[in-house]
Amino acid sequence: MSRLQGKTAVITGGGSGIGLGAARRFIDEGATVYLFGRRQAALEAAVAELGPAARAVAGSVTDLADLDRLYATVRAERGGLDILFANAGTGSFAPLGDITPEHYDQIFDVNVKGLIFTVQKALPLMTAGASIILTGSTTGVMGTPQFSIYSATKAAVRNLARTWALDLQGTGIRVNVLSPGPTRTELAEEVLGEAALAALGATTPIGRMGDPSETAAVAAFLASADSSFMTGGEVFVDGGLAQV
């Protein structure tokens, strides 16, 4: 497969889970991938696994100077950017009545503010035909007990894509949302726990958890010219959880 041959991609939150799965797939299809995240050890392990087509830049999407350094590195080494997978995210439970300003700030700062500036600062590097992929979630369209703040951030991501598709008219840059369902990642296991993940996977029409490689396959589709007539949309990779 070589749909992404010669392309340059940035993946935030790329050291593990869906981000790492997407990096594997993008590289398999010919791309050079920059992984951006806060955990230096995870980034180094990912690059060691992925090989010479992978680069790592440590930093946080909530730090504008870190984002500037990321894109300065891409510009210096590659000249431009073809694919941005804005995948960094965080979440934790808090029922109504127990929501604190700190809980709100932490999740909105990463999932919304961080995503906005991840995309905005990338724009000068992106050319016609470039693809922006935003990580959404089934929680953006479903009620999920004790998960209202995280869910609200993902609903915001969905509307950002709709609006940005209009803002980007005439540029040739596309933006779409990729929304996973219950997927076996480190973050999901940390937030939900193994038992809750297995139970959630069993509620899907497919009857199991998703694997990051399955989401990565759809990310590669959205990154490639195969999705050239798609923008402002949302693609669910959720085992049918939010569809029936």
Per-residue pLDDT of the chain (244 residues; tens, 9 = 90+): 589 999 999 999 999 999 999 999 999 999 999 999 999 999 999 999 999 999 999 999 999 999 999 999 999 999 999 999 999 999 999 999 999 999 999 999 999 999 999 999 999 999 999 999 999 999 999 999 999 999 999 999 999 999 999 999 999 999 999 999 999 888 778 777 888 888 989 999 999 999 999 999 999 999 999 999 999 999 999 999 999 9
What strands, in cross-sheet order, belong to the sheet with 8-12?
Answer: 54-58, 32-37, 8-12, 81-86, 126-135, 174-180, 234-237
**Domain extents in the chain:** 8-235
- Annotated catalytic sites, by residue? 150, 154
Other C-beta atoms closer than 10 Å to the C-beta of 81 total 22
- Cα separation, 51 vs 60, whole angstroms: 23
- Cα separation, 17 vs 4, whole angstroms: 21
- Cα separation, 237 vs 212, whole angstroms: 10
> What is the β-pairing status of strands 54-58 and 8-12?
unpaired
- Could you tell me which residues are beta bridge partners of residue 237? 180
Q: Where are the alpha helices (DSSP H) in the chain?
A: 17-28, 40-50, 64-78, 101-108, 115-122, 148-167, 186-192, 194-202, 212-223
- Cα separation, 114 vs 135, whole angstroms: 12
Task: State residue 197's pLDDT score.
Answer: 83
Task: State residue 188's pLDDT score.
Answer: 79
8-235: CATH architecture = 3-Layer(aba) Sandwich (3.40)
Residues with Cβ within 8 Å of residue 234, at least 6 apart in sequence? 136, 158, 161, 176, 177, 178, 179
Six-digit token string for 15 = 């050291």
- Cα separation, 83 vs 9, whole angstroms: 4
Query: From residue 228, how far is each of 172, 219, 225 by CA, in Å?
Result: 10, 13, 5
